[in-house]
Chains A and B, each alone.
Chain A
């Protein structure tokens, strides 16, 4: 039996294998051994009773901020991955806007080492496109990948110079990973705080025009079409960006795109109720944009969901809206919020939601996670559906979520990473 673990009595939902029925999951040596009906408990040393729970692959989030090194007041690799585990995530990509910037094998390795020490989730650092995210010099991409990086991005300081971006795409085109593009024209953003729409006009806040995003989406999709490189557009927020992506996908560009839970659920109207916890980049846009984002995820123009988990230390958010940093927490609220808004509300099947949080994001970055196929790492989320769960506390070091304190009708009961129960273990004690 070795150290075999049996997850027994649950309903297995694995969109990568089109499984959605009562099955048991047998785990050995940290890998999935079998997903079958009625696996006998004698085949495992330990059994977890999953009756009443839905057993899915662990979630994959390819856009997060773990803040280490340099931003440990807001988050560490250990605290961030613990929050990830609490949200059902077992594989996370973390953005390079740290201090120092993740642009060297040394920083890549240090982040991976910290994640291994903590043991809550798999972490793949996203290395920067240009050295120091300064937009001036290309990095050594193959060397960074060999060190363990998972993709490339200059994140919140997107490559401004089109020729530089073109050269970067030409350099990564055969490496099998995307450039993850936070599309923002800083000259149009200016001092903008929220979406430049009716709410900004009402409140007298400086606005971020929608073209700030969509202009760069269009430019970089055009570069992707020309170079053949894989461009992954981050956190798409408005209708113009969706139309640009749709256009260039139809032309054959190797473009994928993600949308965040908050852009699917909130609009700029949320600023009045949630204050700084509705301030992020790109900004929440209008209801007509939100509807287009939902439809674009449904028709495949947008491929996946990513949280853009962006912790900010409590003191930094306790200020005026135009002075507070951009971004909100994402890991722990993602599934409960999306389940409530779209699955419980009857718009999406659970399979639809889970596929866009598991094997589909993994495929974008060339990873074989987000699946319960035999031989793959035993990364599993156990979901409790239809039972109230209150987001009472966060494992993050930060508290900047609009949803803290809310009660949801679904939650993550437990998470297994590499065969170890990393969240919700107390549920199975005794």
Chain B
């Protein structure tokens, strides 16, 4: 997979409100992101962090925290989603996220269907629309989907009565990753209000970065993007973040160092010379970590390229929270699936 992303909105639109078309920032059935109404207590979907309110984020984090005791084998008998069907529809490979959703659904008592794209008719040229219509005919309660295109979950939502949960759309958003990251930070730091998080790496192509910046800003934290120009271009400034191209300066005053996965080897035309060069400039190791405050935490969405984003020695550092992130992933996905519940259209 490629990395993650998300983005803020904001600039005004010159288009006129009057002419029967949706105004920018409002809600178009045909719009790429198909915004949910702002009052969305009833929403079962999770498309983006951008469209969530702070209260909704807090509610999901609290719910996730409450699910955590379920990791204890004695508590794995919930029936919240007994009889419900959750379809995992992954158009990109993902062992970790798909497995995390599958465990979460099963712990809530749901039946899980993994739609295997490699052997499905999608690879035989069936369109996404036809695929969704086929799945919809089976009336699933929730569709967890990952796709390489921005806006794919919103597109799918137009064709299904199931709740749609975005498990990553192109370089756009990956909302459950941001929720589990922020839950992990909150555990250690208490409130995120006034905290500072440096997101380091290929921000331009990262859906993890986009969902995280929305989530962190909504919870009152400050965000910096750190990386080479190709990964941290000026166009990202509209997120309302500080851009920094020097690692040491970028981590000097932060509470969290959030490293993004670098995947130069999978890019047809790499945006950066090499992983070695990247590590020399932006890699985190015992030496560079000393430029961060003593309390600064280290996180990574995984899987880690050892020796590129971070060197092996730091993986077991007491301030490195990668394993906690994975554990919180199941709890967050249980909260998201429980919120989605069952379909109500019969």
Interface residues of A (CB under 8 A from B): 190, 196-198, 200-207, 266-267, 269-277, 287, 290, 318-323, 340, 402-403, 405-408
**Quick one: which of A190, A204, A207 contacts B5, CB cutoff 8 A?**
A204
| Cβ B31 vs Cβ A204 within 8 A | no
Nearest Cβ in chain B — how far from A252, in angstroms? Answer: 36
| Cβ B5 vs Cβ A321 within 8 A | no
| Cβ A205 vs Cβ B28 within 8 A | no
Nearest Cβ in chain B — how far from A360, in angstroms? Answer: 26
B269 on the A face (CB < 8 A): yes
**Quick one: which of A190, A202, A204, A287 contacts B205, CB cutoff 8 A?**
A204
Interface string of B240-276 (1 = CB under 8 A from A): 0000000000000000000000000000010000000
| Cβ B238 vs Cβ A322 within 8 A | no
Which residue of B has the minimal Cβ distance to A193? B150
Nearest Cβ in chain A — how far from B229, in angstroms? Answer: 13
In angstroms, Cα B7 to Cα A200, docked, is 9
Question: Other than the known A204-B173, A275-B31, A408-B19, what 7 A-B pairs have Cβ atoms closer than 8 Å?
Answer: A204-B7, A207-B235, A269-B13, A270-B15, A272-B25, A272-B31, A273-B15
From known contacts A196-B235, A272-B33, A319-B129, infer whether A201 and B15 are also in contact, taking CB-CB under 8 Å. no
In angstroms, Cα B20 to Cα A407, docked, is 7
B222 on the A face (CB < 8 A): no
From known contacts A204-B170, A272-B33, A273-B28, infer whether A321 and B269 are also in contact, taking CB-CB under 8 Å. no
B-chain residues with CB within 8 Å of residue A202 when the two chains form the complex: 6-9, 210, 238-239
Which residue of B has the minimal Cβ distance to A187? B269
Per DSSP, are chain B's interface residues mostly helix, strand or loop, or mixed? loop
Nearest Cβ in chain A — how far from B212, in angstroms? Answer: 13
From known contacts A269-B13, A405-B21, infer whether A203 and B205 are also in contact, taking CB-CB under 8 Å. no
In angstroms, Cα B141 to Cα A84, docked, is 47
A-chain residues with CB within 8 Å of residue B238 when the two chains form the complex: 198, 201-202
B52 on the A face (CB < 8 A): no
In angstroms, Cα B230 to Cα A190, docked, is 15
**Quick one: which of A201, A206, A321, A402 contacts B151, CB cutoff 8 A?**
A321
**Quick one: which of A272, A318, A403 contacts B24, CB cutoff 8 A?**
A272
In angstroms, Cα B155 to Cα A404, docked, is 20
From known contacts A196-B235, A272-B24, infer whether A320 and B19 are also in contact, taking CB-CB under 8 Å. no
B113 on the A face (CB < 8 A): no
| Cβ B24 vs Cβ A319 within 8 A | no
B23 on the A face (CB < 8 A): yes
**Quick one: which of A201, A318, A320 contacts B233, CB cutoff 8 A?**
A201
| Cβ B128 vs Cβ A204 within 8 A | no
B341 on the A face (CB < 8 A): no
Nearest Cβ in chain A — how far from B25, in angstroms? Answer: 8
| Cβ A273 vs Cβ B205 within 8 A | no
A-B contact pairs, 16 of them (CB 8 A): A201-B236, A201-B239, A202-B9, A202-B238, A203-B7, A203-B33, A267-B14, A275-B28, A287-B14, A320-B147, A320-B149, A320-B152, A323-B149, A405-B20, A405-B21, A406-B20
A-chain residues with CB within 8 Å of residue B170 when the two chains form the complex: 204-205, 322
In angstroms, Cα B8 to Cα A322, docked, is 20
A-B CB contacts (within 8 Å), total count? 118
| Cβ A321 vs Cβ B31 within 8 A | no
| Cβ A204 vs Cβ B210 within 8 A | yes
| Cβ A201 vs Cβ B204 within 8 A | yes
Nearest Cβ in chain A — how far from B5, in angstroms? Answer: 4
Interface residues of B (CB under 8 A from A): 5-9, 11, 13-15, 19-26, 28, 30-33, 127-129, 147, 149-152, 155, 169-173, 204-207, 210, 233, 235-236, 238-239, 269
Nearest Cβ in chain A — how far from B50, in angstroms? Answer: 9
From known contacts A320-B149, A320-B155, A322-B170, infer whether A277 and B5 are also in contact, taking CB-CB under 8 Å. no
Nearest Cβ in chain A — how far from B41, in angstroms? Answer: 24
Which residue of B has the minimal Cβ distance to A275? B32
| Cβ A205 vs Cβ B21 within 8 A | no
In angstroms, Cα B206 to Cα A264, docked, is 32
Nearest Cβ in chain B — how far from A80, in angstroms? Answer: 24
| Cβ B31 vs Cβ A274 within 8 A | yes
Which residue of A has the minimal Cβ distance to B13? A269
In angstroms, Cα B20 to Cα A408, docked, is 10
Top 9 nearest A-B pairs by Cβ distance? A202-B7, A204-B171, A204-B5, A201-B235, A204-B172, A320-B149, A198-B238, A275-B32, A406-B19
B-chain residues with CB within 8 Å of residue A408 when the two chains form the complex: 19
B-chain residues with CB within 8 Å of residue A197 when the two chains form the complex: 235
Which residue of A has the minimal Cβ distance to B205? A204
From known contacts A201-B7, A204-B205, infer whether A271 and B129 are also in contact, taking CB-CB under 8 Å. no
**Quick one: which of A205, A273, A403 contacts B31, CB cutoff 8 A?**
A273
In angstroms, Cα B149 to Cα A201, docked, is 14
Which residue of A has the minimal Cβ distance to B173? A204
B-chain residues with CB within 8 Å of residue A406 when the two chains form the complex: 19-21
Q: Which of B19, B23, B26, B239 has the most CB of A within 10 A?
A: B19
**Quick one: which of B8, B24, B127 contacts A273, CB cutoff 8 A?**
B24
| Cβ A319 vs Cβ B127 within 8 A | yes
Which residue of B has the minimal Cβ distance to A390? B20
Nearest Cβ in chain B — how far from A243, in angstroms? Answer: 20
In angstroms, Cα B235 to Cα A269, docked, is 14
**Quick one: which of A200, A206, A277 contacts B235, CB cutoff 8 A?**
A200
In angstroms, Cα B7 to Cα A196, docked, is 14
In angstroms, Cα B129 to Cα A272, docked, is 20
| Cβ B5 vs Cβ A266 within 8 A | no
| Cβ A269 vs Cβ B24 within 8 A | yes
In angstroms, Cα B31 to Cα A263, docked, is 19
In angstroms, Cα B131 to Cα A320, docked, is 14
| Cβ A273 vs Cβ B22 within 8 A | yes
In angstroms, Cα B204 to Cα A267, docked, is 21
In angstroms, Cα B244 to Cα A170, docked, is 50
Nearest Cβ in chain B — how far from A344, in angstroms? Answer: 11
A-chain residues with CB within 8 Å of residue B26 when the two chains form the complex: 273
A-chain residues with CB within 8 Å of residue B9 when the two chains form the complex: 202, 272
A-chain residues with CB within 8 Å of residue B236 when the two chains form the complex: 201
Nearest Cβ in chain A — how far from B23, in angstroms? Answer: 7
In angstroms, Cα B31 to Cα A277, docked, is 9
In angstroms, Cα B171 to Cα A323, docked, is 15
| Cβ B151 vs Cβ A320 within 8 A | yes
Nearest Cβ in chain A — how far from B297, in angstroms? Answer: 26
In angstroms, Cα B238 to Cα A269, docked, is 13
In angstroms, Cα B16 to Cα A340, docked, is 10
| Cβ A274 vs Cβ B6 within 8 A | no
B-chain residues with CB within 8 Å of residue A190 when the two chains form the complex: 269
In angstroms, Cα B6 to Cα A200, docked, is 10
Which residue of B has the minimal Cβ distance to A279? B32
